[in-house]
Amino acid sequence: MPRTNNIINPSRSLSSPTNRLSLISRHLVAHEPLNTPYSTERLPDTVDTSLLPQTPVRRSSTASTTMSSQPEHPTLLIPGPIEFDDAVLQSMSHFSESHVGPSFVNTFGETLSMLRKLFQTTDPSAQPFVISGSGTLGWDIVASNLVEPGEDVLVLSTGYFSDGFADCLAVYGAKVTEIKAPVGSRPQLPEIEKALSEKKYKMITVTHVDTSTGVLSELEKLSQLVQRVSPETLLVVDGVCSVAVEEIKFDEWKLDGVVTASQKAIGCPAGLSISMFSGKAVQAFKNRKTPPTSYFASFKNWMPIMQNYEAKKPSYFATPSPQLVHALHTALSQILARPLEERFRKHREASDRIKQAVADLGLKQVASNPADQAHGMTAIYLPETVKGADLLPKLGAKGVIFAGGIHKEIVAKYIRFGHMGVSVLNPERGHIEKAIKALTDGLAECGYQKA
């Protein structure tokens, strides 16, 4: 029997999830109870999974291969998607299996538990989510679950993606105040403190690395400020271009939400929205006076599913992508096989090398202050005499793909170089050296000479 509460009152129409479920679930093994958002909290844990038919597990090696056996292709050095490890790609050619069968449930459960380690949280009340979709879905999850229409949200803007988050919040009815930093810098703590003291905000959002500018925001001091001035305010981070490259200490920094995606530093093909929310954020959701303003992105629908997967119990709300989850499982196993600190250090070192090479070429970065520069990408101003439309094809001809500009105020004036994952961690691939040489030669072919 579906249960209702003051938040959700599922319609009993033909399109209701219970009815949809009965239509689509005919292929499922009859004796395997299936948990849905409408039944999970209600079903006691009566399933003895050892009695269920076991699907043979086909695991690709999770060992990271330093050299790639992928077909020759231009090296993709945009700020995501990034180049992939062979084992991660191979995990996607997994045979088809039921998304509620024990073998896949086990893989999904392990994947969620590994995310806790990546986010450096041991707090059992923190909740990881992996939902099919791109990074943008994380914004919808935040906006539709953690804020009620009419509530105030403070958005710290360091570029195009921060503004996108603000737009998304407004679509769901939040009253958004943005503190916009000049292009290439970030809002400063005193102005944030002033804003937080003037009004009670339900939430403050910060884009850890805004991929349009390469500006890195400082989370630890921001969190200390929020704790001091407005401790009830939820602190939510867009970590799409930072998770697995920049340090994030979810518990220690008292973060309430970090949303990210599979295709950047995590090194898994695009298609998964990955997020972590604190117990405080979950409680804020439970305290809502109005229903969540999305169906697919609803915590109400997904939370029991994620909890069940992690407890290795079959669950269904909407079909996940088993192949992508296998790839994520492999990517996370590789990441966690080495200390996280080592991973962050190697990205910092590669970034320092790249930024030095950019300076040696006489070029400036969009992020002007070294303390505000991301470590997984570099946004580089072009010389006045060089157009991106001329330079980028020249780099492509040398086997290197960079991205053009995306920030509307400076769009034609700069290019973006992504340096995350295997391109940094497997120096045998020679990606970084190849890119610096291509940039140097390409600029010379465009007629640029350092002054």
Instruction: Note the residues at the interface with ligand PLP (CB under 6 A).
Output: 80, 134-136, 161, 207, 210-211, 238, 240-241, 261
Taking the C-alpha atoms of residue 216 and residue 241, their distance in angstroms, rounded to an integer, is 10
Q: Which residue has the tokens 């962050």?
A: 344
Residue 100, classified by CB atoms within 10 Å of its CB into exposed (0-12), middle (13-18) or buried (19+), is buried
Q: How far is the CB of 308 from ligand PLP (least distance, A)?
A: 26
Q: How far is the CB of 281 from ligand PLP (least distance, A)?
A: 18
Shortest CB 199 distance to ligand PLP, Å: 25
Comparison of 417 and 448: residue with beta carbon closer to ligand PLP = 417
- Please state the closest distance from residue 211 (CB atom) to ligand PLP, in A: 3
Q: Minimum distance from CB of 18 to ligand PLP (Å)?
A: 31
Closer Cβ to ligand PLP, 211 or 351, answer by number: 211
Q: Which CB atom, from 147 or from 357, has the smaller least distance to ligand PLP?
A: 147
Tell me if 367 sits within 8 A of 216, measured CB to CB.
yes
CB of 234 to ligand PLP, least distance (A): 18
Q: Label the pairing between strands 215-216 and 257-261.
A: unpaired
Q: Which is nearer to ligand PLP, 273 or 315 (CB)?
A: 273
Closest residue to ligand PLP in the complex (CB): 135
Nearer to ligand PLP by Cβ, of 134 and 177: the residue is 134
DSSP SS3 for 277: strand
User: In terms of CB distance, is 241 or 305 closer to ligand PLP?
Assistant: 241
Nearest to 126 by CA among 134, 115, 110, 139: 115
- Identify residue 283 by its one-letter amino acid code: Q
Task: Using CB atoms within 10 Å of the CB of residue 390, give its burial: 0 to 12 exposed, 13 to 18 middle, 19+ buried.
Answer: middle
The DSSP result for 150-203, as a single string, is T-EEEEEESSHHHHHHHHHHHHTT-EEEEEEPPTTS---HHHHHHHHHHS--SE
